């Protein structure tokens, strides 16, 4: 049975503002408590650094509150119970497409991040086989080869912008594993990589710049890059439909062969394009950020780094790790360090939704059609859930401690039926990159440099994250014993 594609949303920012203001004025129940005045300073403070706004609001109002940001009133729900309510127990009442994820449609189209309901369920069922354990393990060979290539010219004393390095590496892995394109070849692979980065840069612009339209605006540049990308992607889809190769294992090829639950309807060219573009966005951006934050925290915590190095020596003894090594639970220190990094820096830091029907939570009502956000970044730093929430403590994710966490306390990949479909792919890639790097080198923070965080389009270092390459040896701050 065919499933109808979702209606297209307007990309006119003025129309959106007018509709939002009208719906707020006609709401049939009051919003949760919180500052409702128009306040430009609050808006820009939130864009720059939301935690000093969200965490005090949680202390003042509790797990549900609202505040006016930009033109409209936004509801926030923080803490384990709130996260579980939105992502699991009442997930059907919260749509992604009409929330802020709709802002991604002009680039990504109708991919997994921007669709809901039956259309989403069909797409997820079709795509799941591409992320089965054996498929992910096969992609591990690409991850190893690309990481070793990226480390080829590293030598002690070199200054490396870790974020830029990881971004280039993750994009190469994504281009090969998802599109099956070689970014080294002149032509489609090389042009697609360049234009994808150009298009994605639109979402790193300030909100005031993103609403502008017309020639020479960020919107115009993004649209031009998308058109170029579409030419490349649709030409590649047509080529593979004409000449299918059963030996290809990249995600695009798997999706071209996939069928729905009845075994009859293949994905259309547009559906394949939108899903692969969405995976490229989600995979390459989040992996880059997590690798960067993980290396940053290990450089700041030599004892945690030493435990990781000792585990590597004991389990791997210098050999290249396999996918089984990295996913089979044989490197528990690595698992705990990754979990703690994702607690402090969940790349998808906010879950923007729009509720379908009016609901009540925590003693407060929320009108139908409201913008409702949960935030893993803020929830992961609540002191009543996480002792010493600002501290980097991998041991808090020891198996017994992790099992004792309340439902909804830890949600770096979302929750419920919409848990990130590429979660295991991303975890394998992060662990591969960090393990191979630390088998050869350690990284030292550049003296006097501090790291600040930006939120768009995903959590990442705001400025270059420069670090000094050192011999593996003993981490700074420890002495050989």
Q: How confident is the model at residue 303, as a pLDDT?
A: 96
**Mean pLDDT computed over 328-340:** 96
**Mean pLDDT computed over 437-455:** 90
Q: How confident is the model at residue 402, as a pLDDT?
A: 95
**Mean pLDDT computed over 78-107:** 92
Q: How confident is the model at residue 480, as a pLDDT?
A: 45
CATH code for residues 13-471: 1.10.630.10
pLDDT band for position 191 (cuts 50, 70, 90): confident
pLDDT at 245 over 60: yes
Which distant-in-sequence residues (6+ apart) come within 8 Å of 148 by Cβ?
Answer: 436
Comparing 283 with 45, which gets the higher pLDDT? 45
Alpha-carbon gap, residue 247 to 145, rounded angstroms: 19
Pairing of strands 94-95, 351-355: antiparallel
Which distant-in-sequence residues (6+ apart) come within 8 Å of 109 by Cβ?
Answer: 270, 273, 274, 277, 278
- pLDDT tens digits for 45-81? 998 899 999 999 999 999 999 999 988 999 999 999 9
Q: Which of 19-28, 371-380, 456-465 is the most confident on average? A: 371-380
Comparing 333 with 198, which gets the higher pLDDT? 333
pLDDT band for position 481 (cuts 50, 70, 90): very low
3 state SS of 318: coil
Q: Which of 320-324, 447-451, 477-481 is the most confident on average? A: 320-324
pLDDT at 221 over 70: yes
Q: Which of 209-223, 289-303, 435-449, 467-481 is the most confident on average? A: 289-303
Q: How confident is the model at residue 477, as a pLDDT?
A: 61
- pLDDT tens digits for 137-180? 888 999 999 999 999 999 999 999 999 999 999 988 988 888 88
pLDDT band for position 263 (cuts 50, 70, 90): low
Alpha-carbon gap, residue 374 to 422, rounded angstroms: 21
The sheet with strand 159-161 has its strands ordered as: 159-161, 466-471, 441-445
Q: How confident is the model at residue 178, as a pLDDT?
A: 82
pLDDT band for position 264 (cuts 50, 70, 90): low
Alpha-carbon gap, residue 210 to 37, rounded angstroms: 23
Which distant-in-sequence residues (6+ apart) come within 8 Å of 444 by Cβ?
Answer: 299, 467, 468, 469, 470, 476
Q: How confident is the model at residue 189, as a pLDDT?
A: 65
Q: How confident is the model at residue 454, as a pLDDT?
A: 87
Quick one: what percent of the chain has pLDDT higher than 90? 57
Q: How confident is the model at residue 101, as a pLDDT?
A: 81
Q: Give pairs for 389-394: CB < 8 Å, separation 24+.
A: 392/297, 392/300, 392/301, 392/304, 392/340, 392/344, 393/340, 394/304, 394/307, 394/333, 394/336, 394/337, 394/339, 394/340
**Mean pLDDT computed over 172-198:** 78
Q: What is the pTM of this model?
A: 0.92
**Mean pLDDT computed over 355-363:** 97
Domain boundaries of the chain, sorted by first residue = 13-471
pLDDT band for position 474 (cuts 50, 70, 90): low
Which distant-in-sequence residues (6+ apart) come within 8 Å of 75 by Cβ?
Answer: 31, 32, 64, 65, 66, 366, 370, 371, 372, 373
Q: How confident is the model at residue 85, as a pLDDT?
A: 98
**Mean pLDDT computed over 331-355:** 96
pLDDT at 1 over 70: no
Q: How confident is the model at residue 281, as a pLDDT?
A: 84
3-state helix, strand, coil in the chain (%, to 5): 55, 10, 35
Q: How confident is the model at residue 213, as a pLDDT?
A: 87
Whether omega before 457 lies within 30 degrees of 0, making that bond cis, reads yes
Rg (Cα) of the chain, in Å, rounded?
23
Average pLDDT, the chain: 90
Contact yes or no for 73/327 (Cβ under 8 A): no
């Amino acid at each position: 049975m065919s499933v109808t594609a979702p209606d297209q949303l307007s990309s006119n920012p003025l129309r959106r503002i007018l509709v939002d203001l009208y719906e707020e004025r006609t709401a049939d129940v009051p919003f949760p408590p919180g500052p409702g005045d128009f306040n430009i300073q609050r808006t820009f403070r939130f864009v720059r650094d939301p935690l000093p706004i969200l965490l005090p609001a949680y202390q003042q109002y509790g797990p549900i509150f609202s505040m006016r940001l930009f033109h409209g009133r936004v509801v926030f729900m923080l803490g384990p119970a709130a996260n579980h309510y939105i992502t699991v127990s009442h997930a059907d009442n919260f749509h992604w497409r009409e929330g802020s994820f709709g802002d991604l449609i002009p680039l990504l189209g109708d991919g997994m991040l921007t669709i809901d309901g039956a259309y989403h369920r069909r797409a997820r069922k079709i795509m799941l086989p591409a992320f089965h354990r054996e498929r992910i393990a096969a992609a591990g060979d690409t991850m190893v080869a690309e990481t070793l290539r990226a480390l080829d010219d590293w030598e002690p004393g070199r200054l490396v912008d870790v974020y830029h390095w990881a971004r280039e590496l993750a994009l190469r892995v994504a281009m090969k594993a998802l599109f099956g394109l070689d970014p080294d070849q002149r032509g489609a692979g090389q042009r697609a990589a360049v234009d994808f980065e150009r298009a994605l840069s639109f979402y790193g612009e300030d909100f005031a710049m993103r609403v502008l339209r017309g020639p020479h605006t960020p919107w115009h540049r993004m649209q031009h890059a998308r058109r170029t990308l579409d030419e490349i992607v649709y030409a590649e889809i047509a080529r593979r439909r004409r000449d299918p190769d059963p030996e290809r294992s990249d995600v695009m090829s798997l999706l071209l062969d996939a069928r729905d639950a009845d075994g009859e309807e293949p994905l259309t060219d547009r559906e394949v394009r939108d899903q692969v573009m969405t995976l490229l966005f989600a995979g390459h951006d989040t992996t880059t950020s997590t690798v960067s934050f993980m290396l940053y925290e290990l450089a700041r915590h030599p004892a945690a780094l030493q435990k990781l190095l000792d585990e590597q020596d004991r389990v791997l003894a210098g050999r290249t790790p396999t996918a089984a090594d990295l996913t089979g639970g044989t490197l528990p220190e690595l698992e705990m360090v990754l979990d703690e990094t994702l607690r402090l820096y969940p790349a998808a830091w906010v879950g923007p939704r729009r509720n379908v029907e009016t609901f009540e939570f925590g003693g407060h009502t929320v009108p139908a059609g409201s913008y409702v956000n949960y935030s893993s970044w803020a929830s992961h730093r609540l002191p009543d859930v996480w002792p010493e929430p600002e501290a980097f403590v991998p041991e808090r994710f020891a198996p017994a401690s992790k099992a004792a966490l309340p439902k909804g306390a830890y949600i770096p990949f979302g929750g419920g039926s919409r848990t990130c479909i590429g979660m295991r792919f991303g975890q394998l890639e992060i662990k591969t990159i960090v393990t191979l790097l630390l088998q050869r080198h350690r990284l030292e923070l550049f003296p006097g440099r501090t790291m600040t965080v930006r939120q768009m389009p995903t959590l990442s270092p705001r400025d270059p994250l420069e670090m000094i390459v050192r011999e593996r040896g003993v981490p700074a701050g420890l002495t050989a014993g």
